[in-house]
């Protein structure tokens, strides 16, 4: 998965990021910076995208 690929994120996480990005843009933050901050916030709050099982059994 290339860097910046958002396919591992849930629909809810994507909606959260869009809402946060919109809020930053309304405050005058550039579009690129707003997007970066929005995804950083989603990652901080939710722990990032869905992780695939690594095959480890926890032992």
Question: Higher-confidence residue: 5 or 39?
Answer: 39
Residue 19 maps to a domain: yes
Place of tokens 């809810």: 12
Mean pLDDT calculated for residue range 32-42: 96
Write out the two tokens for 38: 């929005």
Q: How many domains does the chain have?
A: 1
Residue 36 maps to a domain: yes
Q: Which long-range contacts (CB under 8 A, 24 or more apart) does 12-19 make?
A: 13/42, 13/46, 13/49, 16/41, 16/42, 16/45, 16/46, 17/41, 17/42
Residue 37 maps to a domain: yes
Reported as a pLDDT band with limits 50, 70 and 90, residue 56 is low
Q: Range of 37's domain?
A: 9-44
Determine the pLDDT at residue 37.
Answer: 97
Determine the pLDDT at residue 49.
Answer: 82
Q: In angstroms, rounded to a whole number, what is the distance separating the alpha carbons of residues 30 and 27?
A: 9
Mean of pLDDT over the chain: 87
């Amino acid at each position: 998965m290339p860097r910046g690929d958002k396919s591992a994120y849930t629909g809810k996480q994507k909606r959260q990021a869009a809402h946060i990005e919109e809020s930053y843009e309304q405050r005058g933050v550039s579009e690129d910076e707003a997007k970066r901050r929005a995804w950083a916030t989603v990652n901080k709050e939710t722990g990032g995208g869905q992780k695939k099982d690594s095959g480890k059994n926890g032992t």
